[in-house]
Structure 1
């Protein structure tokens, strides 16, 4: 749990009482690789912090899945739209590696917002971070070619290249694995 506290302290100073309230509500959840944490049609009940592992967000397809996001260690993860609205999710959330999460339920998070002085600040900053990441991704998809996107990932997000299977990476960029192989050959 020290990873979570360190992350939270970077967002806003957290008193011992606030940390005690927050940490008392965390539950550890462990998943093996390729486990679907949340399937389409189910409502997200957890906001989680990734202690270990990589999470993939995707829309399942008849022939190919459409991967649209990843989450890594030392970050929060959730099907956040479903979590906020408490409506069914329209995509899958999957652990692509063995994963350890520390999770809060929706009800517990609401209680933390009410009972701590730092809860709302952390919630707002975390939501702003998610928004900025989503906006950057949308702009890149709209303004960059697949080759430019791959080059961007190589320079700005090398952890994607190092840890994500190529078929998921190709889907994330919006191309086939074969097209990604051609791009990789041209760049190397």
Structure 2
């Protein structure tokens, strides 16, 4: 739990009293590789923080899933639209490696907002983090080629990307696995 407090300290001054209230609502969970954390068709009940591991966001398809985001250590994750609106999620979140998470429920987060001085700031920071994941993806499709998207992803997380199956990376950058192989051959 100290890792999440240390992360918050880099962003906001969180006093002991506020931390005690917030941390009392957090639950830790450990997940094996390839475990679905958020199921399509179910309402997202949690906002998560990754302390170890990685996940992918994807739309399950009969032939090939459509991967549209990755998240790594020290990032918030959630099917946030479902979390906010209390509607079924249209996508899934799955672990890519053994992953440790801290989670807070929708109801508990609302209690934190009411009971603490920094609760709203924590919620805003989580929302901003999730928005930036989405915005970064959209901007990359509008401004970059598939090769540039691949290079940016590799540059951002070189140690983690090597462990992500190429079919997920290909889906994320919007190409077939064969096209990704050609891109990789060109740049090596």
Question: Normalized against structure 2, the TM-score is what?
Answer: 0.95
Q: Is the 8 A contact 2:149 2:173 kept in 1?
A: yes
Instruction: After superposition, give the CA deviation of every residue in 1:5-49 in whole Å (9 maximum; x if it has no partner).
Output: 011111110000000001111111121111111111001011111
Structure 2's unaligned 5+ residue stretches are: none
**Count, aligned residues:** 188
Q: Is the 8 A contact 2:77 2:130 kept in 1?
A: no
Report how far residue 53 of structure 1 moved.
Answer: 1.3
Report how far residue 184 of structure 1 moved.
Answer: 0.3
Q: Is the 8 A contact 1:27 1:102 kept in 2?
A: yes
Q: CA RMSD in A?
A: 1.3
Q: Is the 8 A contact 1:153 1:160 kept in 2?
A: no
Distance 1:160 1:52, change over 3 A: closer
User: Displaced runs of 4+ in structure 1, greater than 6 A?
Assistant: none
Match of 1:105 in 2: 105
Report how far residue 160 of structure 1 moved.
Answer: 5.0
Aligned partner of residue 29 in structure 2, secondary structure: strand
Structure 1's unaligned 5+ residue stretches are: none
Aligned partner of residue 50 in structure 2, secondary structure: strand
Query: What is the correspondence of 1:25-174 to structure 2 with a 5 Å cutoff?
Result: 25-174=25-174
Distance 2:72 2:154 in 1: 16
Distance 2:64 2:111 in 1: 40
Distance 1:133 1:181 in 2: 25
Report how far residue 134 of structure 1 moved.
Answer: 1.6
Distance 2:180 2:5 in 1: 38
Instruction: After superposition, give the CA deviation of every residue in 1:134-186 in whole Å (9 maximum; x if it has no partner).
Output: 21210111221111211222333434533321111111001111111110000
Question: Normalized against structure 1, the TM-score is what?
Answer: 0.95
Distance 1:9 1:177 in 2: 41
Aligned partner of residue 162 in structure 2, secondary structure: helix
Report how far residue 59 of structure 1 moved.
Answer: 0.4
